[in-house]
Structure 1
Amino acid sequence: MLHPKPMALLLAGLVALAPLSAQAEKSRRLSVTGEASKEVVPDTAVISLGVRAQSDEAGEAMELVSVSMNEVMASLQDSGIAGDDIQTQQISMHPVWSEIRRDGAYEQTITGFEASNIVMVTLDDLGTMGGVLDDVLRAGANEFRGISFSYSEQDAAEDDLRSAAVEDAIDKARQLAAAAGMELGLVRQIQDGAADGGGGRMMATEMARSSDMPIAPGAITLRHSVSMIFDLKKPSKPK
């Protein structure tokens, strides 16, 4: 029969071992990152373009921009672009400063005003892009901020990539566990990484008056990643 004091010591020892055992189990875990990527052909473009004009008077500069912008908007609508696909991005007005020599010294003075109106145009038919750009140039557009390309089915593609990234993480974890002489246990954590849509592709340049501007959208690489934590366990004994 155990005396009360040794029994208390035994129980205390078992309680002390419990956290150590849990800590040991937690230390036998494996963290991996799974990745997946896919190249897609973009089918949508967003073009940033507009009109810029200068004049001695602010009101006249804005009037020049408004007249030309109305022509540009009419050209876009004639090309079959819906009103919902045309959005004003920026309207600005600022003074034009020049350096003038006066009484033997140079001083900064306002010599005019510059106004601009920039719109974003969404195109669902990339085959018409060159013609649309050529038309708005003829209509009076003289500023081109750039083109960004995207893929309309990106959400569905990212769902597939997410699943592929999980499979990649599991394959890596199994390989690492086997190399370490262990077996893969339960999944303890899954963390979805940020999707990378390739950043679109932005090309910015001043517009040049040319006929049917050639545009090459190329391809967009979509990427997705997930981080997973697995338990590691000792190999099962052979029967």
Structure 2
Amino acid sequence: MKKLKFLLAPLALTLALPAAAQGPVGQTSIAANSTLLSITAQGKSTRTPDLAVFNAGVVTQGATASEALSANSTAMNRVIATLKKAGIADRDIQTSQISLNPIYSQPEYGPNGVPRQEPRITGYQAVNNVSIRSRNVAGFGKVLDALVASGANQVNGPSFQMAEPAAALDEARLDAMKDARARADLYARAAGLRVVRIVSISESGGFAPPQPVYARAMKAEMAAPPPPPIAVGEVEAEVSLSVQFELAP
């Protein structure tokens, strides 16, 4: 059996083959005078994102752990209330981090570099962050502005996504399959052969959001800035197919 082998990606999903086309486990059975061609093709589909995912929260300090945590809870309740007022549903708000840590004094050193005293606890820092999905991408900047005004002093994101990527993924699958078949026909003609059938199809990949753009940390005590400009751009759905073709004279 002749065999032409091109780039073959790791397989994530393999379609079952008819019993007649299967050989021993891990092998593909084709006619003795046929050639097995393996091709990996990528398909892409772009969309304007309709979902912004980001994190927001509050960092507070206090002389005691209880004081820091109490102040944080009060501020965080305002932040969550602001999110709901801005139209963010309960299902789109999820706690992502809660922490309480001591704050230590800086050690004092003597002339010989030996610490005069060990660091001591001078207070406590409490952190509470939530992950938020904003389905009104056009109004995302106003949501950030309202958060800062209500006491949020940590904001990170956004990562723009598709709320329903299924249709875009199907377009990417069709694009990948079209490319795989076109290249199979090209290789077959170049080798003086013809494509008899598809032996197997394997898929990997999926929705590929861009790297998130991080907003700077914001301080609640500063005057509230105007809503930041938001550039939504496009996001991609990407699929990789590994397709095996049987070529024959």
- Measured after TM superposition, the shift of residue 193 of structure 1 is 2.0
Residue in structure 2 matched with residue 93 of structure 1 by the alignment: 100
TM-align CA RMSD: 2.0
Of 164, 167, 172, which aligns to 1:161? Answer: 172
Question: Which position in structure 2 is the counterpart of 1:130?
Answer: 141
Aligned counterparts of 1:26 and 1:134: Cα–Cα separation in 2: 69
Match of 1:225 in 2: 240
Task: In structure 1, give the amino acid aligned to 2:197.
Answer: L
User: Which whole-Å CA distance do the structure 2 matches of 1:89 and 1:23 have between them?
Assistant: 53
- The one-letter code matched in structure 2 to 1:127 is A
Specify every segment of 5 or more residues in structure 1 that has no aligned partner in the other structure, as ranges: 1-21, 235-239
From 121, 129, 137, the counterpart of 1:118: 129
Is residue 2:192 matched to residue 1:181?
yes
Paired-residue identity, %: 34
Cα deviations by residue, 1:173-197 (Å, 9 ceiling, x for unpaired)? 01011011111112111111222x2
**1:147 and 1:201 in contact (8 A); partners too:** no
Give the 5 Å matches for 1:5-154. 25=32, 28-101=35-108, 105-106=114-115, 107-154=118-165
Range 25-34 or range 46-55, more displaced: 25-34
SS at match of 2:216: coil
- 1:206 matched to 2:221: no
Q: Distance in 2 between matches of 1:221 and 1:160?
A: 11
Please say if residues 44 and 171 of structure 2, whose CA atoms lie closer than 8 Å, have aligned partners that are also in contact.
Answer: no
TM score, norm. by length of structure 1: 0.82
- TM-score w.r.t. the length of structure 2 is 0.79
Could you tell me which residue of structure 1 aligns to residue 230 of structure 2? Answer: 215
Give the letter for the 1:94 counterpart.
Answer: N
Q: Confirm or deny: 8 A CA contact 2:33 2:248 kept in the other structure.
A: no
Q: Which has the higher helix share?
A: 1
Residue 26 and residue 108 in structure 1: after superposition, are their counterparts in 2 closer, same or farther (change >3 A)? Answer: farther
Q: CA contact under 8 A between 2:45 and 2:171: conserved in structure 1?
A: no
Structure 2 contact 34–248 (Cα < 8 Å) conserved = no
Deviates more, 1:49-58 or 1:107-116: 107-116
For residue 50 of structure 1, report the CA deviation from its aligned partner: 0.4
Q: Which runs of 5+ in 2 are unaligned?
A: 1-28, 219-223
Could you tell which deviates more after superposition, 147-156 or 174-183? Answer: 147-156
Which whole-Å deviations, capped at 9, do the CAs of 1:89-138 have from their partners, x for residues lacking one? 11111111232216663333222211011011111111111111111101
Equivalent pair of 1:130/1:213 in contact (CA under 8 Å): yes
Number of residue pairs aligned between Structure 1 and Structure 2: 212
